[in-house]
Amino acid sequence: MDAQTLSYIFVGLSFALYIGIAFWSRVGSTKDFYVAGGGIPPLINGMATAADWMSAASFLSVAGLLAFAGRDAAVYMIGWTGGYVLLALLLAPYLRKFGRFTVPEFIGDRYYSDVARVVAVICLIFISFTYIAGQMRGVGIVFSRFLEVDINTGVVIGMGIVFFYAVMGGMKGITYTQVAQYCVLIFAFLVPAVFLSIMWTGNPIPQFGFGDMLNDGSGLTVLQKLDQVTVELGFTAYTQATRSKIDSLAIVAALMIGTAGLPHVIVRFFTVPKVSDARKSAGYALAFICVMYTTIPAVAAFSRLNLSESVNEVPYAEAPAWVGNWENTGLIAWQDKNGDGIIQYRAGKALDPVKPNFTGERGKYGERLVSNALTATPNEIYVDRDIMVMANPEIAQLPNWVVALIAAGAVAAALSTAAGLLLVISSSIAHDLMKRTFMPNITDKQELLSARLAAVAAILVAGWFGINPPAFVAQTVAFAFGMAAASLFPPIVMGIFSKRVNRQGAIAGMLTGLVLTVGYIVYFNFMEPGLNNAEHWWFGISTTGIGTVGAALNILVTVIISRLTAPPPQEVQDMVDDIRIPAGAGVAHHH
């Protein structure tokens, strides 16, 4: 069977499974809808958390970034996985002990203020929509290639599926769907990785193959060969860093504290029965995530070698079939600059703006013509970073079922995260804005209905962002982390570990962090993209790392203003003491 038919079957079967699970676990109460009734076992929750957290960015983009940027992209791996440890140690058990449904609810109660709660909801909506745009884009890319539809149509199909199981099943439906999605995405990621590792080194374990000798008789290891190939083509050596130390540290820190402030991940810890289970499920999740994150560098290295070998100096007419397939989706473009009909893959941009601008005509070799080719550089081919993982099986000529499996895996990765985010948005609107702030008298049933309506609205907005994305997938996601780092992480951590922090401080801090971070990102990326370089950045910190500065400023403002104003009421201080004492620690009671 051909890859397209198999893709339809695999993706179709996985959709049937997700919708079946949603139907089986449909909910009737708000507690089930928000936190799955608080009855999810730690192992199951760990697997669901891993799927929730490993988004389309992990599945599609990180390996693509590493393949093209080499050592510079390692900051994403370190930051994202490190943040997870932070979350398990600093936040998970305490928030579970507090026992609320959402992050804004914790902030509103800890800072005894409706204003603080509303500010937290605004931050959360900003973060979640920025993040979800990247997921919808990922879904669109997968569908456009494997179901041969337009990217925008792909986004719409994805919206429909998520809508169905997020709105029906709530957190309970999403949890069990995510367990299924984890199994699909991890299998889909590992199978091609094993194939590639055997192909290049003869070692079936990709994590070890990554450091092995190549089996082409050259006597070089994988990384030595990559350094050699990249330098020959005019790129920086693969293992050499070009980013400054301060910027690298800022990005790692922003991604770490951003991960720990991500609302859709924090909410997962509210779904387990006991406080000790929150820590256990964080441990399981880390183990499940590691399976994928230790494989990513190997996949990146092998795919970069594949790309250099299969495309460079090959006549377009004899180029492998995958080049034409991806060209049809608009994610690869070749422009014959020197008129010899041979693909030159070199350092430098092939096109003037980054994305290809197709004219709708075909050249003499049948290639799609672009109107924005850059004649200043010798590079003739544009390859979108987000396709590396999906193009891998075709590039390496793996069996068709592997190609289909990757399609199902990528869709699973994007949908699991999108569903988690939608739930966070809808529960914040229904629970925190309506029930806890503006309409305290609504019934459980009305609250559930408004959560479902909010989910519908959120899906429509998310779809719009997926069709008009602000940047490529991993970059969009990194902005969301910066915003989470600068706005939500400081008030949560200080709320747990300091009794003196009060509402005036927290509100001022959140607003300062959010405004600074969003302003910086918008200024350099959209208003003055020409100035977006190390000379003009503050302290040499890029827009991806600015969340660290935002977080530091947030903490500073919070502490200063809390010191200058009245301390929180006694019952809030007692509540903070109580959160930090694990349940069943045997505290002496005064009679």
User: Cβ-count burial of 222 within 10 angstroms (0-12 exposed, 13-18 middle, 19+ buried)?
Assistant: buried
**Tens digit of each residue's pLDDT (9 = 90 or more) over 243-288:** 888 988 998 999 888 887 777 777 777 788 887 888 888 889 888 9
Given a contact cutoff of 8 angstroms between Cβ atoms, the answer to whether 321 and 216 are in contact is: no
**Tens digit of each residue's pLDDT (9 = 90 or more) over 349-368:** 777 766 777 777 887 787 88
> Where do we find the tokens 């050699």?
228
Judge whether residue 303 has pLDDT over 90.
Answer: no
Q: Which residues pair with 370 in a beta bridge?
A: 358
Residue 110's pLDDT band, with cuts at 50, 70 and 90, is: confident
Quote the tokens at residue 193. Answer: 């990785």
> For residue 512, what pLDDT is reported?
92
Average pLDDT of the residues in 516-533? 78
Given a contact cutoff of 8 angstroms between Cβ atoms, the answer to whether 191 and 57 are in contact is: no
Judge whether residue 391 has pLDDT over 90.
Answer: no
Given a contact cutoff of 8 angstroms between Cβ atoms, the answer to whether 281 and 35 are in contact is: no
> For residue 274, what pLDDT is reported?
81
Q: Mean pLDDT: which of 142-151, 225-234, 257-266, 541-550 is highest?
A: 541-550
Poorest-pLDDT segment among 102-116, 156-170, 358-372:
156-170
Higher local confidence (pLDDT), 210 or 376: 210
Poorest-pLDDT segment among 196-200, 201-205, 587-591:
587-591
In 3-state terms, what secondary structure has residue 217? coil
Please state, in angstroms and rounded to a whole number, the distance separating the CA atoms of residues 455 and 430: 10
Judge whether residue 583 has pLDDT over 60.
Answer: no
Predicted TM-score (pTM) of this structure: 0.79
Judge whether residue 587 has pLDDT over 70.
Answer: no
Nearest to 216 by CA among 299, 296, 295, 302: 302
Query: Left, alpha or beta for 443 (phi > 0: left; psi -120 to 50: alpha)?
Result: beta
Please state, in angstroms and rounded to a whole number, the distance separating the CA atoms of residues 113 and 328: 54
In 3-state terms, what secondary structure has residue 274? coil
In 3-state terms, what secondary structure has residue 273? coil
> For residue 2, what pLDDT is reported?
80
Average pLDDT of the residues in 91-107? 78
**Percentage of the chain exceeding pLDDT 70:** 92
CA dihedral 548, 550, 556, 561 (to 10 degrees): -160
Quote the tokens at residue 408. Answer: 């199902």
> For residue 550, what pLDDT is reported?
92
> Where do we find the tokens 């402030």?
261
Judge whether residue 567 has pLDDT over 80.
Answer: yes
> For residue 588, what pLDDT is reported?
44
Judge whether residue 131 has pLDDT over 80.
Answer: no
> For residue 589, what pLDDT is reported?
45
> For residue 559, what pLDDT is reported?
94
**Tens digit of each residue's pLDDT (9 = 90 or more) over 220-249:** 888 888 888 888 777 788 888 788 889 889
CA dihedral 483, 66, 316, 150 (to 10 degrees): -30
Judge whether residue 564 has pLDDT over 90.
Answer: yes
> For residue 591, what pLDDT is reported?
45
Poorest-pLDDT segment among 87-96, 209-218, 511-520:
87-96
> For residue 549, what pLDDT is reported?
92
**Tens digit of each residue's pLDDT (9 = 90 or more) over 115-126:** 888 888 888 887
* Angle, helix 473-487 to helix 503-522, in steps of 10 degrees: 150
Residue 157's pLDDT band, with cuts at 50, 70 and 90, is: confident
Judge whether residue 469 has pLDDT over 70.
Answer: no
Beta-strand relationship, 314-315 and 332-334: unpaired
Higher local confidence (pLDDT), 317 or 582: 317
